[in-house]
Structure 1
Amino acid sequence: MADDRIDAKTAADRLGVKPATLYSYVSRGVLRRHFDPDRRRSLFDPADIERLARRGKPRRRAAPTEIAIESRITVLGPDRPYYRGRDALELADTHRFEAVAEWLWGGELTDSGPWRCRLRAVATARAVQYGLPTDLAPLDRVQIIVTALSVSDPLRFHLDPGAVTATARTLIAGMAEALPPLSEPAGPTIAEMLWSRLCPHPPESDRVLKALDTALILLADHELASSTFAARVAASVRADPYAVVGTGLGTVGGPMHGGATRAVERLLADIPDRAAVPRVIGDLLRRGERIPGAGHAVYRDADARGAHLFEQIRRLAPDHPKLLAAEAILTELRIRRQPEHNIDFALATLCAVYGLVPGSGEAIFAVARTAGWLAHAMEEYAGGTPLRPRALPARS
């Protein structure tokens, strides 16, 4: 059967649509996609394509806001993303964040680290934080840092791929380096630098740092998530890389996006021990509230990214009280037939187990996703058409 499957171009030609439209059919559940890991491509059953062709273009009852954009960066599988055809989970097991970022930007899986930001730029970004409240959320600081770094970079308007890639390395490094240090960094990698800014004590082992690096990789891109779409819109009108990242940061902090980890952090902080979990979850459901960190808009069955990261934490700290509470929450979700947990839940658990400061999860999310935003920006810079959605007349 697999030998009879056709590639995306052939399927799109048969349907008379663009490849982006073909993948929008996949995201709607209208068409099933099969991923060929050996040749890193999508395949389709010709019988499914023929049935769809005979039926005509499918219409979705409630999707007036759906926008399809052609991209080679990330394809979403049934439970995980594929970065330029490579399984993100496998990349997380075998490479560092820096190498995966290079793969997203240029298709070369090479570790270009250690990355460093210019000393004067970091000094400026630290200076503008003087006088801010000490308990300011890390994401708020990151937004200020990106603005400060931008005005210190005279080359920020250079939009060729080499210049943007160089900016991306120094920008991500600066986002970590300019945060107030809480402990001595264990080394020069982004994971090590970020840990020393978000945790008041050093990591217990290299395996713990690897868990943070895994989180960074798994969060580096997720196709056209809200912040990525916003970043692409900015890039499509030739906003510079710092402005693109600033646009993404303005979106990612929303409670339905990268800010979702804050709700999970609060949930874990409010649970004194695992015995209290049934009561806490029951109270949330009785009030009609959703369980933070449960379910995903794209992965209907399970978010493999969350399961992968959570399993790492389980191996590292199997008896930690916060992990036991998190596991009790997962058990309660299954008992009550609630959706499975997602990457936000696993990330917040990592932060809770290792005592990272409140709000660390969304800062980690933002630093990681910067790699994806700039990969998408480079695609837009290579094009020549601004993204300009049109409004539909409102129904009276």
Structure 2
Amino acid sequence: MVQTKGLEGVVATTSSVSSIIDDVLTYRGYNVDDLTDSAQFEEVIYLLWFNKLPTSQQLAEFKSELIENVYLPIELLNIIEKLSKENTHPMSILMNCVSALAIYDEETNQMSEGANYRKSLRLQGKLASIVAAYSRIREGKQPLIPKEDLSFAGNILYMLNGEIPDKISEKAFNKALILHADHELNASTFTARVCVATLSDMYSGITAALGALKGPLHGGANESVMKMLAEINDITQVDSYLHKAFENKEKIMGFGHRVYKTGDPRAKHLREMSRQLAKVTGEEKWYYMSLAIEKIVTNEKGLLPNVDFYSASVYHSLGIQHDLFTPIFAISRVSGWIAHILEQYENNRLIRPRAEYVGLKNQTFIPIQERDESMDVIA
């Protein structure tokens, strides 16, 4: 039986959602560089779900449908308020809230194409509202409703910070959302597909994906990067901090990737966004510290930054609280999760791999009385 640790290099399914070929990331055949430079995040969601880019009319209708689905049931706001008083990680709250959404959706267990599309809209819109509502409620503020004249990216920043974002911030966040939208068969996407392959509902699939994303080796990496930057705090301390970490064989978060060999193509976009936002906010130290860290880690360890490394300073510059970095990642990635879930439903087969057994063999069962007697003799 062929086996590989962590399923590295194993092709588990076919998919037309996204691809990573020769270190080029594409969504439905479109290079992510082109989408990041020119598209709106709403266009990318549409592309992932419908396998085509929308016309102007289709995009306008789609934006309207998304806005209609951001509002949260009052019962869910009560849950958020209660949980916000506990010392709970925002990802745990997001997982609980998404799971609870299934209770308030009459179409949860309906599997028609129309029902699944409507659930997709609800999940895409409501994830953003959950994160923003939690952020404000725990600060003693009222949740905000979105503005129809703002983009999806602009509305998230508005609902989080209570201010209309400037054009540079809105543009930068739009790019970040596009870059995080999908990434082939990553851990959380695979988890979502395994879950719904049992014909479980979409809310269960997204909740399962959130659980996988929460880990520091996946979506939680950007939060760890910002924690490292905060600990260093000054560019003069970068060298000593890193070399101490090297000596202790500590992992430097935000570097390296199992799939990419010549570097994560998303990192260059986030590096430039970090540079631009640093100038706007006047907090350029985070950008220059990141540059210094990248230079040392790349030169001495041969590791290149991945999407998580510069997204940390980008999110920080946008005024996003550090423990919300992974939930913000989820607001984007849910678009890809949904695309994969819909694809799984279309041509479903239960995902059930095998494991190579390496445990003890030919064991002889000893009745419990004899086991007790033998222990007495030993004693």
- The 5 A counterparts of 1:210-229 are 210-229=171-190
- Residue 152 of structure 2 is matched in structure 1 by 190
Runs of 4+ displaced beyond 6 Å: none
- Residue 325 of structure 1 is matched in structure 2 by 289
Residue from 73, 84, 87 that aligns with 2:31: 87
- Residue 22 of structure 1 is matched in structure 2 by none
Structure 1 or 2: larger helix share?
Answer: 2
Structure 2: segments with no counterpart, 5+ residues:
137-142, 361-379
Asked whether the equivalents of residues 268 and 352 of structure 1 are also in contact (C-alpha less than 8 Å), the reply is no
How far apart are residue 103 of structure 1 and its match? 0.7
- The 5 A counterparts of 1:128-167 are 128-134=79-85, 136-167=88-119
In structure 2, the CA distance between the partners of 1:153 and 1:117, relative to structure 1 (3 Å rule), is: farther
Asked whether the equivalents of residues 191 and 208 of structure 2 are also in contact (C-alpha less than 8 Å), the reply is yes
Distance in 1 (CA, whole Å) between partners of 2:208 and 2:334 is: 11
- Alignment RMSD: 2.4
In structure 2, the CA distance between the partners of 1:60 and 1:218, relative to structure 1 (3 Å rule), is: farther
Distance in 2 (CA, whole Å) between partners of 1:119 and 1:343 is: 27
In structure 2, the CA distance between the partners of 1:60 and 1:214, relative to structure 1 (3 Å rule), is: farther
Q: Does 1:113 align with 2:83?
A: no
- Residue 198 of structure 2 is matched in structure 1 by 237
Q: Does 1:307 align with 2:251?
A: no
Distance in 2 (CA, whole Å) between partners of 1:239 and 1:188 is: 35
In structure 2, the CA distance between the partners of 1:64 and 1:225, relative to structure 1 (3 Å rule), is: closer
How far apart are residue 136 of structure 1 and its match? 4.0
- Residue 373 of structure 2 is matched in structure 1 by none
Asked whether the equivalents of residues 216 and 368 of structure 1 are also in contact (C-alpha less than 8 Å), the reply is yes
Distance in 1 (CA, whole Å) between partners of 2:63 and 2:349 is: 34
- The 5 A counterparts of 1:28-67 are 62=4, 65=7, 66-67=10-11
- Residue 304 of structure 2 is matched in structure 1 by 340
For 1:334, give the aligned amino acid. T
How far apart are residue 152 of structure 1 and its match? 0.9
Residue from 358, 373, 376 that aligns with 2:340: 376
In structure 2, the CA distance between the partners of 1:237 and 1:108, relative to structure 1 (3 Å rule), is: same
Distance in 1 (CA, whole Å) between partners of 2:339 and 2:224 is: 29
Asked whether the equivalents of residues 97 and 213 of structure 1 are also in contact (C-alpha less than 8 Å), the reply is yes
Distance in 2 (CA, whole Å) between partners of 1:174 and 1:119 is: 5
Which gives a bigger RCO, structure 1 or 2 (Cα 8 Å, sep 6+)? 2
Distance in 1 (CA, whole Å) between partners of 2:309 and 2:349 is: 38
Distance in 2 (CA, whole Å) between partners of 1:376 and 1:221 is: 9
Normalising by structure 2, we get a TM-score of 0.82
How far apart are residue 169 of structure 1 and its match? 1.7
Distance in 1 (CA, whole Å) between partners of 2:335 and 2:71 is: 23
- Residue 367 of structure 2 is matched in structure 1 by none
Q: Deviations over 1:279-315 (max 9, x none)?
A: 1111111110121101111112211101112112213
- The 5 A counterparts of 1:166-315 are 166-179=118-131, 180=133, 182=136, 188-198=150-160, 200=161, 202=163, 205-315=166-276
Distance in 2 (CA, whole Å) between partners of 1:123 and 1:189 is: 25
Asked whether the equivalents of residues 264 and 292 of structure 1 are also in contact (C-alpha less than 8 Å), the reply is yes
How far apart are residue 138 of structure 1 and its match? 2.9
For 1:93, give the aligned amino acid. D
- Residue 124 of structure 1 is matched in structure 2 by 75
Asked whether the equivalents of residues 70 and 122 of structure 2 are also in contact (C-alpha less than 8 Å), the reply is no
Asked whether the equivalents of residues 90 and 324 of structure 2 are also in contact (C-alpha less than 8 Å), the reply is yes
Distance in 1 (CA, whole Å) between partners of 2:154 and 2:184 is: 27
Normalising by structure 1, we get a TM-score of 0.78
Q: Deviations over 1:120-167 (max 9, x none)?
A: 743222111122245643322221221222111101223233332221
Distance in 1 (CA, whole Å) between partners of 2:155 and 2:126 is: 10
- Residue 365 of structure 2 is matched in structure 1 by none
Asked whether the equivalents of residues 323 and 353 of structure 1 are also in contact (C-alpha less than 8 Å), the reply is no
For 1:75, give the aligned amino acid. S
How far apart are residue 331 of structure 1 and its match? 2.1
Asked whether the equivalents of residues 238 and 292 of structure 2 are also in contact (C-alpha less than 8 Å), the reply is yes
For 1:116, give the aligned amino acid. I
How far apart are residue 176 of structure 1 and its match? 1.3
Q: Deviations over 1:36-70 (max 9, x none)?
A: xxxxxxxxxxxxxxxxxxxxxxx988458334201
Distance in 1 (CA, whole Å) between partners of 2:317 and 2:75 is: 33
User: Which stretch has the larger CA shift, 183-192 or 220-229?
Assistant: 183-192
- Residue 364 of structure 2 is matched in structure 1 by none
In structure 2, the CA distance between the partners of 1:136 and 1:358, relative to structure 1 (3 Å rule), is: farther
Distance in 2 (CA, whole Å) between partners of 1:261 and 1:148 is: 27
For 2:243, give the aligned amino acid. G
Asked whether the equivalents of residues 69 and 125 of structure 2 are also in contact (C-alpha less than 8 Å), the reply is no
Q: Name the SS of the counterpart of 2:19 in structure 1.
A: strand
Asked whether the equivalents of residues 295 and 342 of structure 1 are also in contact (C-alpha less than 8 Å), the reply is yes
Asked whether the equivalents of residues 351 and 360 of structure 1 are also in contact (C-alpha less than 8 Å), the reply is no
Structure 1: segments with no counterpart, 5+ residues:
1-58
Q: Deviations over 1:81-119 (max 9, x none)?
A: 211111112112211212111111111312321413557
In structure 2, the CA distance between the partners of 1:136 and 1:310, relative to structure 1 (3 Å rule), is: farther
Percent sequence identity is 28
Asked whether the equivalents of residues 277 and 314 of structure 2 are also in contact (C-alpha less than 8 Å), the reply is no
